Structure 1
C-alpha cells in the first residue's frame, strides 16, 4: 500500500475521507504487525478517515508466514510454553488484534461505538458447527478483551444461530460470507432477535455493534464466467447476456440494501433503536475488481450509501484515493437493480445456485487459507524448535508417495484430524472407538498432576530401595521395559526390572536378580483380572513375606484401573500405594499414563521433563496442525497406504542400539491395534538389516535413529535400502528423552493407519480368544490335576511335532528334516515366518532365535518375526491370529528343567506356560493358519542347537 501518497493539500480533497459525507465508513481489509507498529495504520486513520480493519486467514498467512516481523515473539513464546501451531498463531494474532484495536480506539470513541473496530475470525473449520462456533466466539472475545473487537462468524445456516446467541450475550459480530438476499435477511433477523432477547432480560444493548459482510465481486466472477461461456458457445440470448456482465453483483447488493432500509422503518426496530441499539450495517466485502475490463474501483464507487461499510483491500484503497469518484450510488436506479435480477433469472444464470455454491466454496477457501496459515506458523515453529522436536523424513517410491499424499489430502479436505481430536468414531468404523481415546489428553492431564509422581519418586529414593520389580504383561510392561532398557539405572535410584513371563526359569532368574528385602514391587494390571500379573503378584508377595518376615504389602505398589480386582487385592494386602490408570485408555496406548510413569518415577526418571517432551509431539499432531506439517499423520498415511494399496504390510522396525527396545513396544502397538479382520500391519522388530536383495516387495522400513549415537552399520544398510527404492521412514531423536515424543508420535500414527485400514484400532478380539483357550486348560488342570492329553503326529529324536489335523496332513509323517522342509516349503512371496518360542528369554536364547530368523529370511526372502512366549500373546499374537493370513508359524516348547508353584493354586508356572502355548496354538489352528509346534525333550540348549541345524538344512 502506498502510504506516502497524500491528498492534494491545496484542494483538501480526499475521497476516502469524504465517504463519511455519504454515511459510509471505509474499512481496510488488511492487517500486518509492522504496518501497525510503524505508524502506517494510524496515518490512514488520520489522513484517509479509515474507520475499521478486517482480518482473515489469508491476510494473516501473508503477514506471519514471511519475513521476520513475528520471529522475536515466536522465540519468546516457545521458550516459555509448548504450543500447537493453532495456539501459537492465536497468540500472535491476538497480539496484532490488540495493537490494532488500540490504534482504532479513538475512532471507536469518536463514533460512539459505531466504528473503530478490528475483526478476528472464528476458526473456519467450525463453519458448520453451531455450538462450537458460539463457544469459540466467546473464548476469543474474552482472550482479546478489547471493546472495539468484532468476532467474525460465517453466515452459514449453522453460523447464524451462533451469531444470534452471542449477540444476546453482548458480543459484537461481523457476520461474513453472505452472498444471497435470503441469507442476509436471516442474519438481520438473527441480529434483531439477539438484541430483543438481551433487552428483554434487562441488559444494555447500546454497546453492541454488528456488520453483515455481503460479498460482491465473487458473484460477478461466477455469473460473468457463465455468461462468457454461453456467448462463446453461440447462445441465442448472447446480447442479453452480455448486457448483464458486471451488473448482477451490484444489483444484488442494492436489493439487499433496500431490505435493510425497510427493516429500519419497522416499529420493531424503532423500539430497539429507542433503547440505544446500533443498526447492523451492511458491509461490502470482496470489493477488489477481479475482471481487468472493469474499473479497478467499480465495487467501491457503485456501492456508496448511508449506514454502510466498505472493507477495501489495500490496492483498491490506494486506487480509490487516487481516482475514485463520490456519489450516492447505492440508491441510484434501484428499479433497474430489480430488473437485472429478474433478467438473470429469466436467462437461467441461477443467482440462487451461484450464491449457494459461493458459500460452500468460500468456507472451503477460508479453510484452505487457514491450513496455509497454520502451515506457515508450523514451519516457523519447527525452525525455532530445531532438535527439540523429533524429525521425520520419508524416502518413498513415487507410487507410494502419491498414495500417501492422497490419504493426507482426504484428511485435510474432510477435517479427519480435527474429528480425531474431537473423538469422533466416524474416523474409524463408527463403533465404540470414542470410548478409548483418552490417550489423546493424558499428557496434559498427567502434567497437571505431575507433583504426585515427583513426590512418589522422592519417597522411593528416601526408602533406599535397591531394586524395582515390575510385574505385568503387554501394555503394562512393554513401555516400562523401554524406559528401563533406554535409561538404565539412574544414580541414587533403584534399578528397574520388568518381568512379563510365566516361564518358571525366567521367574526364578528375576527373583535371583533382586534383593527381596530391598525391592519395591509394582504390580501393573489394567483390569486386575489378567492371569499373569495375578500369579506373579502371588508368587512375589509370598517371597517378599518370607524375606521381610511381616507386612510385605509395604513393599508393593499397584497400578490399575479404578474399581478393578487388583485394587481390591491391593487394599486387602496393605499395599503401600495404589496408582490409578484411565479406563478409557487401552493397555498399548497407556505408556504416557500411570502405567508407564509410575515405574519411570520409581526408577528416578525426570517424569516432568519426560511428559514435556511428549507434549511437543502432542502439539505437533494437534487438531490445528495441517496434514502437510503433521509428521505423525503422515506416518500413519504412509503405513496405511502401503498396506492397502501395495501389500507392503510388514513394518520393519530398526532402532539405534541405545533405544533398541522401542521396537518391542512398537510391535504391540502396531500388531494389536491393526491386526484384525484379515488385514493389518505386521511389525518386524530387532532384525539385523541385510542387503536389499534379501527383501521382497512387502516391507516399509521405520528407522528410529538417535542422532548422536547412530550405528554406522545401520546407516550404511539404510542408505542401501533407500538407494534400492525401498520405502524408508527415518525418525530422528536428538536425545533419549525424546522416546516420550516417539511414544505419542506412533500412537497417533497407528490411529491414522487404523482409519486407512478401515478397522477399529482400539480393540483386540483375538487376544481375548487366546485367554479363553488358556483358561479352559488351566481350569481342566485344577479339576483333574493334569492338562488334557495330546499326542504328537510325529516324533524325531528329541523332537515331538504337534499340529491340528489339516496341518498335520499337509506336513506328513517323516523325520524332523522332512517335516520342517514341508512346513517351510509352504512359505510364499509376501508371507512371513513367525518363530514363537515358549522358553526363557535370556541372552543365549535371544542370540539363538536371531540366528534362526536371519537364516530363514535370507534363504526364503521373507520377513521373519522372532518372539518369546507368553509375552508376545499380549502383543503380536493379535495380528498373527486376526491379521492377514500370510504367516507361517513355528511354535517351540520345551521341557522345564525346574518348575515353580503358584501360591494358592493347584497349577504351577510351568503348567500355565504350557496352557498358554497350547491355547495360542489352538487359536492359530482354528483360524486356519499354517502352524507347526515342535516340543524339545531333554536339555534345552542341546535341543535348540539341533533344531537350528535342522531348520538350516530344511530351507
Structure 2
C-alpha cells in the first residue's frame, strides 16, 4: 500500500493523472498506474498534447497515414489524434468506471479554449466531442467563465459528464455547483437517468499562491509588516480550497439535493488541479498532503505523482483547522489583497494560457502537416531584414488577439468595422464549389462534344484577369477550345479577337457580377449580333453567362437563349472571385479538371485556416509582411516577379492588392511586369514577392533577387513544384490582401474610387448619346503629332516647372515632379499588344533606373477595375501620364448609338476626371495618327 494507493483506500480521495500520450497508453504505462498505484482518472489539455505531439515523433506515423488518405484541416488532424488517445485511455480506465458504478474511471477532454467566452459555441463543441469520443467515461472539460456556466448546465441536462476547469473563487464554485444541480434536475425531468451523470469542479491551487505571493512581496516592498505578510505565503491556496470544501458539503445536502440523490444522482466532487509546486521553497507534495479528504479528486502531473509515491504522507488534512483557513483569508483582506480580484485575473490569464497552449499544439500539427505534404504544398520563405522585428511583433499580436480566427469568423472589427462581413464568401467558396465539381465536369464535356475551337471571356477586372492567368499558364488542352480574353473596349482589340476566331465554332463567356458593368454588356451586344448574322436564333447557344443571381445579365441571358447561366456568389467581390464560377467556368471550358484544381486550392485554404497560428499561416504571414512593410517603413511598392510560364499571375495579384488596399490615402502599390535591375536602382519603398516555378525558374531573376536581398530589401519567395500549384496562390494572396488591409486599417472589400470613375464615364457616354459626340476639349499644348490635356491646377504647376509650347516640355515637366518614394504610372488607352508595350516598357525601365522610383505600365480600360482604385484613392505618391489615341476606324456597337472608340475615350476622360478631382499629378498625352509612331516619340521624350 504505497501513499498514492492509500489516498483512495484510506481517505476516499481519487488520484487522477494530468497527462496522456499515445506511447504512454500503448506501452501499458497507464494500465500499470491503474494496477499499481490505484489511479482512477486522467485529464488532458492542449499543453499536454503539445508536448506529446510537438516534441516527439510518436505521432508522425498517424499523421502520415491521415494525410495519405487526403489532406485535412489542422484542427481535424489534431482532434483525430487527441480523440484516439482519449478513447484508448478511456478503455484502459473502463474497468475502474465499471467497478465504481460510474463514479470514477474518467478521462477528460477539453473544449477549445478559443470558445471560452462564447456560450453557444462551447455548448456545441461539448456536444460534438461527446458524440465523437463515444465513451461513457468521458468528461468534457468546460472553463468556469461566466459564459461557460450556461453551457455547463445545458450539457449536464443532456446527460454529458462535465469537468469544470479554471475555478479559483468560492462564489464562482457555488455558481458552478448550482449549474450542475439545475442541469441534473432538468435531465431528471426529461426522463434521464441522473445516476449515470458525473461531474468534477476543478479548483486550481498553486496558481493562487504564485499570484498572491507576488502581491505579498509588493506589500512588503511598500513597507508592510514583513513577518505577518511572509506568514501568509504558501497558505492562501490551501485555505481557499478548505473553505470551498465546506461549501461543497453545504451545497450537496438538504432537501433539494436529497431529491436528486434519491434518484441516484452523484455529487459533483471537488478536484484539486495545478497541484505541482511552483515555488521551490515549498514542499514538492504540499498541495497533495494538505488537501486530502473524502469525495475529492487530486489530479497530479507525473512528477508530483512520483514525489508523493516516494515520500508523501497520508492524513485527513482537508478539514484540519478550518478556522485557521478563515483567519488566513481575513488576514489577506486586511493586507489589502482582494482574493476575488486575484481569482478574476487568474481566470482571464488561465483562458489565455489555454489559448497559448492550443496555439502551440495546433502549430505543432500544422508544422508536421507541412512537412509531410512535401512538394504538394507551395513553399514560402520570408527574408525581411530590418522589417523582421516589426513583423514578428505583428505576428504575435495577431496570435494573442486571435485575429486570424476572428477573420474567419467574419468579424468586421478586424478591419474598419463597416460592412466587411458581407464580402467574405470567398473564405469558404472552395469547399462550396467542390460540391459542384460534377456540374463543371459535365459542362466541360458539353463544350468538348460541341466542337468549339475557341472560348472567349467577355469581362473586366476580376471577371477577366483570373481566366487570363489560366489561359496563359495552362494553355490549350487537346480536344478543348483555346481560351481567349477580351477586356478592352479599344476597337482594335475587339477586331483582333473577332479576326482570330471562327464565330460559328466559338463559345462566348459573358462575365459580370452585377450585370450592369459597361464593358461586358457592350461586348455581348457586339458579338451576339455578329453571331446572329450567321446563325440566327441559334446564336444564344454560343453564349454562357456568369453573373450574380437576379442580375440584369441573367434576365438578358434568358431572353437571348444562352446555353447556360452560372451564378456567382453575391458575398464575393469581383477581385476575390477567381475560385468561384467566374474563374471555374472558363477553367472548365478550356478543359481544366475543376475538381483537381479546387483540391489544390483547398490545400492552401487549410494552410491558412483559422486553426493555424499566424507564425505558421502562410497567408497571414505574407499579409502581415506587406502591411507592416507599408505601415512601418513606407515600403508600399509591392514588386511582383514570377518565373516564365506563371508570370501573368502578377496582373491578377496586382488588381487584388491595389483595388483592395488603395483607399483613404493609404494602400499598397503593386509593381508588375518589371524586369529586375541592380539593387542600386531601388529606393527604400520596395518589398519584393517572387513566385518561382521549381525547375522552370529564371537564373537571372534569381540572381538579381539574391542581390536585392543582400542589399537589405525585404524579399518573399514562394516556390511552386509545378504549375498545377497555382490555385494555391490565388487563395494565399486573397488571405494576405485581407490581412494587409487589416494592418492598414481600411476596408479591403469596397472600391469607392472605381465607382467614381464609372459614374463619370456614364455621364460622358450619356452626353455623347444625346449630342452625338463627347464634349469638346481644349489642349494645353500640342502639335501635329501630340496633344496635351490636363486640369487647370496641374497646368499651372507644370508651367511653373518649365512646360512651354511643345509637348516634350510638358512631359519633361511632368516627370520632373517625381520625388523619392513616388511612382510613375503610364496609363495607355490603346490596344494592348507587344508592339505597343515595347516602347512603354523601355520608357518605364529607363525612368526607374535614372529616377530610382517605381514605375508601371497599365492598359486602359482594364486597369480601371484594378490598379485604378489605388491610383485615385491610395497614397498621393503617383505621377500619372495617361495616353490616348485617335480611333482610326470606327467600330459600331449594335443597338447603341455609340461606337467602341467613343466608349474608350469616355472611359479615359472619366478616369482622368477622377484623378484630377483627387488632386493627383496627372497629364494626358493624346496621340494623333499612327499610334506606334506616337508611342516611340513618347519614349524618347521620357528619356
Instruction: Tell me which interval the TM-score lies in, with the shorter structure as reference length.
Output: over 0.9
Q: 2:165 aligns with which of 173, 176, 196?
A: 176
Q: Give yes or no for the alignment of 1:689 onto 2:676.
A: yes
Q: Within 5 A, what are the aligned runs for 1:578-657?
A: 578-657=565-644
The residue aligned with 2:332 is 344
The residue aligned with 2:199 is 210
Structure 1 residues 775-829: Cα deviation after superposition (integer angstroms, max 9, x where no partner):
0111111111111111111113300000011111222332122111111111111
CA contact (8 A) 1:178 1:212 kept: yes
Distance 1:148 1:477 in 2: 57
How many residues are matched?
939
Distance 1:449 1:82 in 2: 19
The residue aligned with 1:67 is 56
The residue aligned with 1:4 is none
Structure 1 residues 813-855: Cα deviation after superposition (integer angstroms, max 9, x where no partner):
3212211111111111111001000000012112222111111
Q: 2:853 aligns with which of 855, 862, 873?
A: 862
The residue aligned with 1:196 is 185
Distance 2:825 2:630 in 1: 19
Distance 2:283 2:700 in 1: 68
Q: 1:522 aligns with which of 509, 525, 534?
A: 509
Q: Give yes or no for the alignment of 1:915 onto 2:902.
A: no
Structure 1 residues 848-884: Cα deviation after superposition (integer angstroms, max 9, x where no partner):
2211111111121110010000010010000000001
Q: 2:538 aligns with which of 542, 551, 574?
A: 551
Q: Within 5 A, what are the aligned runs for 1:662-811?
A: 662-811=649-798
The residue aligned with 1:329 is 317
1:229: Cα distance to partner?
A: 4.5
Q: 2:285 aligns with which of 290, 294, 297?
A: 297
**Structure 2 residue matching 1:81: 3-state secondary structure:** coil
Structure 1 residues 109-144: Cα deviation after superposition (integer angstroms, max 9, x where no partner):
111111111111111111111111111111111111
Q: Within 5 A, what are the aligned runs for 1:132-147?
A: 132-147=121-136
Structure 1 residues 181-209: Cα deviation after superposition (integer angstroms, max 9, x where no partner):
01111100111111112222232222111
1:634: Cα distance to partner?
A: 1.1
Q: Within 5 A, what are the aligned runs for 1:221-620?
A: 221-231=210-220, 233=221, 235-398=223-386, 400-620=387-607
1:234: Cα distance to partner?
A: 7.4
The residue aligned with 2:844 is 853
TM-score by length of 2: 0.98
CA contact (8 A) 1:621 1:630 kept: yes
Distance 1:151 1:697 in 2: 54
CA contact (8 A) 2:3 2:308 kept: no
1:571: Cα distance to partner?
A: 0.3
Q: Give yes or no for the alignment of 1:833 onto 2:824.
A: yes
Distance 1:300 1:747 in 2: 53
Distance 1:360 1:266 in 2: 34
1:18: Cα distance to partner?
A: 4.4
The verdict on how the C-alpha distance between 1:594 and 1:17 changes in structure 2, with shifts beyond 3 A counting, is farther
- The more displaced of 434-443 and 698-707 is 698-707
1:733: Cα distance to partner?
A: 1.1
The verdict on how the C-alpha distance between 1:528 and 1:281 changes in structure 2, with shifts beyond 3 A counting, is same
1:14: Cα distance to partner?
A: 4.9
- The more displaced of 30-39 and 267-276 is 267-276
Distance 1:756 1:143 in 2: 38
The verdict on how the C-alpha distance between 1:339 and 1:598 changes in structure 2, with shifts beyond 3 A counting, is same
CA contact (8 A) 1:244 1:340 kept: yes
- The more displaced of 339-348 and 604-613 is 339-348
Q: 1:871 aligns with which of 859, 862, 879?
A: 862
Distance 2:70 2:10 in 1: 49
Distance 1:344 1:879 in 2: 61
1:703: Cα distance to partner?
A: 0.8
Q: Give yes or no for the alignment of 1:98 onto 2:84.
A: no
1:16: Cα distance to partner?
A: 2.5
1:944: Cα distance to partner?
A: 1.4
CA contact (8 A) 1:17 1:47 kept: no
**Structure 2 residue matching 1:206: 3-state secondary structure:** helix
Distance 2:291 2:819 in 1: 74
**Structure 2 residue matching 1:306: 3-state secondary structure:** coil
Q: Give yes or no for the alignment of 1:112 onto 2:101.
A: yes
The residue aligned with 1:947 is 938
**Structure 1 residue matching 2:683: 3-state secondary structure:** coil
CA contact (8 A) 1:397 1:726 kept: yes
**Structure 2 residue matching 1:153: 3-state secondary structure:** strand
Distance 2:730 2:910 in 1: 31
Distance 1:719 1:899 in 2: 50
Distance 2:107 2:513 in 1: 52
The residue aligned with 1:19 is 8
Distance 1:13 1:774 in 2: 88
Distance 1:17 1:744 in 2: 59
Once superposed, what is the RMSD of the aligned Cα atoms? 1.1
Distance 2:222 2:763 in 1: 82
Runs of 5+ unmatched residues, structure 2: none
Distance 2:212 2:228 in 1: 13
Distance 2:814 2:327 in 1: 84
CA contact (8 A) 1:32 1:96 kept: yes
1:624: Cα distance to partner?
A: 0.8
Q: 2:872 aligns with which of 874, 881, 895?
A: 881
CA contact (8 A) 1:254 1:334 kept: yes
1:47: Cα distance to partner?
A: 1.2
